[in-house]
Chains A and B, each alone.
Chain A
């Protein structure tokens, strides 16, 4: 779904990161369960969530950063 958001908006880029191959990043972002979505380094979304929930978190992260 993150990749779909990147396709939709030219302002959004989305990385899928394999946690086992990049343990230093998993550690940095405190990944204990997957999927874990990190938005702009600051906001986290835990687990598989409905589209609307992810979009809500996304908008919150954007407005927090403004």
Chain B
């Protein structure tokens, strides 16, 4: 059974066709005995990849492909890295459902375009940051 309903898929195809300008990879990490929500997250990523030629799914095994996981800084699963022209450091841990699904769609578009869409004041402020910053946003399904 698909996770993305037919009418939502049609809408996504349209949104992606109108907004994506460059390829985006959804790099997903699961494992052979899939964890809670790993199977659903993998299915979601694969269904998203089917909605646009510019969205590609790459599925890795967290255990067997340990080196790949480390190269993306992935330390838990299910994980999705949203990667465009470069790796911007955008990650999802756990299934992006409800409100977070909208965030994932927004991220795919922003990463494809290489645009943050932030205000001029924010862009100027973060330009002064030259040390590593790690943001972890805790959410629950809505």
Stretch at the interface among B7-15, B26-34, B124-132: B124-132
In the complex the two chains form, is B140's CB within 8 Å of A39's CB? Answer: no
In the complex the two chains form, is A22's CB within 8 Å of B122's CB? Answer: no
The smallest C-beta distance from B87 to any residue of chain A, in angstroms, reads 9
Residues of A within 8 A of B23 (CB): none
In the complex the two chains form, is B129's CB within 8 Å of A26's CB? Answer: no
Q: Range of interface residues on chain A?
A: 35 or more
Q: Tell which of B82, B123, B131, B134 has the most Cβ of chain A within 10 Å.
A: B134
Binding site for B on A (CB under 8 A): 1-22, 25-26, 29, 31, 34-41, 51-52, 55, 58-59, 61-62, 65-66
A5 to B133, CA, bound (A): 10
In the complex the two chains form, is B139's CB within 8 Å of A4's CB? Answer: no
The smallest C-beta distance from B122 to any residue of chain A, in angstroms, reads 5
CB 8 Å contact bits of B69-81 with A (1 = contact, 0 = none): 0000100101000
Binding site for A on B (CB under 8 A): 36-37, 73, 76, 78, 82, 86, 88-96, 100, 103, 106-107, 110-111, 114-119, 121-123, 125-141
In the complex the two chains form, is B94's CB within 8 Å of A7's CB? Answer: no
A39 to B32, CA, bound (A): 33
Residues of A within 8 A of B96 (CB): 16, 18
In the complex the two chains form, is A29's CB within 8 Å of B138's CB? Answer: yes
In the complex the two chains form, is B110's CB within 8 Å of A34's CB? Answer: no
Give B93's nearest chain A residue, CB to CB. A17
Residues of A within 8 A of B100 (CB): 16, 18
In the complex the two chains form, is B93's CB within 8 Å of A22's CB? Answer: yes
In the complex the two chains form, is A40's CB within 8 Å of B122's CB? Answer: no
Known pairs A8-B122, A16-B91, A21-B93 / 15 extra A-B pairs, C-beta < 8 Å = A1-B118, A10-B86, A11-B131, A13-B73, A13-B132, A15-B136, A25-B136, A35-B137, A35-B139, A36-B138, A37-B137, A38-B136, A51-B118, A55-B121, A55-B125
